């Protein structure tokens, strides 16, 4: 999994982005601690495992669910 560290706003720990071919890249916030980056990495992997990009639920529902499982 391609993973990059960049400075993101403080209220965003990271994100996962998918391209047209279905390849994904996880972006983590370089301003966060290593422990937080690990948690965020796991969160983004969960989005991929749950196939959330193909899910018709709203983002609000997806995140609500994903954070409940944390």
Partner 1 sequence: MPTEEYEKMMKLFSTRLKELMEENDINQVELSAAMGLSRSTVNKWVTQKAIPRMGIIEKLASYFGVPKSYLLEQDGKTNKRAYYVDPETVLLAQELKDNPEYRALLDATRNLKPESVKEIMAFIKYQKAKEEGHID
Interacting residue ranges for partner 1, rule: CB under 8 A:
6, 8-9, 11-20, 40, 43-44, 47, 52-53, 58-64, 67
Return the half-sphere exposure (C-beta side, CA atoms, 13 A cut-off) of residue 55.
16
Q: In whole angstroms, how close is the CB of 35 to partner 1 at the nearest point? A: 14
Least distance from partner 1 to the Cβ atom of residue 25, Å: 9
Q: ∠ CA(61), CA(17), CA(42), 5° rounding?
A: 65
Smallest distance from partner 1 to CB 20, Å: 7
């Amino acid at each position: 999994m391609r993973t990059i560290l960049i400075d993101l706003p403080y209220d965003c720990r990271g994100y996962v982005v998918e391209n047209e071919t279905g390849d994904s890249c996880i972006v983590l916030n370089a301003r966060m601690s290593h422990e937080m980056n690990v948690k965020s990495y796991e969160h983004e992997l969960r989005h991929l495992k749950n196939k959330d990009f193909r899910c018709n639920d709203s983002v609000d529902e997806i995140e609500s669910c994903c954070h409940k499982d944390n």
